Structure 1
């Protein structure tokens, strides 16, 4: 199967793109998980390290888009099982979460409400043109990054629910996840809300450190708040 690395296109939603989409009605089609690796070729040959980093970035950001958080958790667990060739475990996880596979692959799957999820092929198998790394002679970019002395940076976080700019001071060593907690502690956010942070039009991964973003002092980070739907009540 030919393929390239990138975010799956959202089908039938105009110019938008995303990781999941809601269909008009739940799908009734379901096939057993195929017990073979998807074969694909990367447009740009990548190392195992680079593929793993892309997988981390995807699973960090995917739950920030549409779909249920618990379904994303199940999909990641199933993908991890597939990568360990434990297809029986992967199938059990999918069945337990009520996830259906019209094509027998996680490339296209649906929850019980008919919401579509799409897992990129690089999360499910290695490309046929994977670059093999050779011991300690691998390029410097594959080594652990050198962390410089942490510095404080003052930024404005603009909260979507109020339009208010919250002025905060972060350390360049702080992760985005830690900064989200700090924002929650300094302002009243909706209960159980999910934060998505954007800078320069790019979604920031939870594992990204503030020092890696290179945000100038007093620049604005956009914080999009997603509030979960209240549980349905019977009667």
Structure 2
């Protein structure tokens, strides 16, 4: 699967995104040997488009396949484990945690992105872009098993609690009343009803970890008052809305 996105950053450097790596040319006057100089992890989400559109379930399977097989080819397993943890934290917008994980494992990122990393021995590790963020053209699943569309209510709903959710599309905090036995998928539906955010466009992260749709809230270990990050795929959501409007007209 390939993908490519190019743009200019504030320093007028071109950032090229591919399915394997991101390259940022060194500024004039910097020797070639300095190309591996460590940079702080960039606090931004990479935007990219997949050549072959994927559903969320297919993307998760592709990610799992990579992380399960990567240590068998090259590098040390503990470094791959650290990169996976840093990737999850960064996707949940917890960049400080991601940076701390990299620093603790002595991993350097010469271009500021996790697509190209080096351990203290100089071994190179490449993380494909599909492990770092969702493509802007991800396919909405209507009735697939990975879709949060339909979930039966539990017989015992548990106790009522309030989740503090931070919605990425509006950067606002919402207190959502749910039950401890509700699954994440059911809570997404409740957030959709309360805030008009399509459940299929939501991804919930807590403490740098993606929360699966079928996991009950009481198994997510969410501490009272702590924030759950709700990442909204706004491009896909806006595309669906514009398509529906066009059909209606």
TM-score range, shorter chain: 0.3 to 0.5
**TM-score, reference length from structure 2:** 0.45
**TM-score, reference length from structure 1:** 0.48
Higher helix share: 2
